[in-house]
Amino acid sequence: MTIKPLIILPDPVLRQVSKPVERIDAESLQLADDMLATMYDAPGIGLAAVQIGVPRRLVVIDVSREGEEKTPLVFFNPEIVASTDARSTYEEGCLSIPDYYAEVERPAGVTVTYVDRAGEKQTLEADGLLATCLQHEIDHLNGTLFIDHISRLKREMVIRKFTKAAKSKI
At 170 the pLDDT is 67
The CA distances from residue 10 to 81, 96, 136, 150, 151, in Å, are 30, 9, 17, 17, 18
pLDDT tens-digit series, residues 95-142: 999 999 999 999 999 999 999 999 999 999 999 999 999 999 999 999
pLDDT tens-digit series, residues 58-89: 999 999 988 899 999 999 999 999 999 999 99
- For the chain, the domain total comes to 1
Is 27 known to be catalytic?
Answer: no
The CATH number that applies at residue 68 is 3.90.45.10
Q: Among residues 68, 79, 103, 137, which one is catalytic?
A: 137
- Maximum Cα–Cα distance across the chain: 46
pTM (2 d.p.): 0.96
Please compute, for residue 156, the number of CA atoms within 13 A of its CA located in the half-sphere on the CB side: 3
Structural domain of 85: 12-168
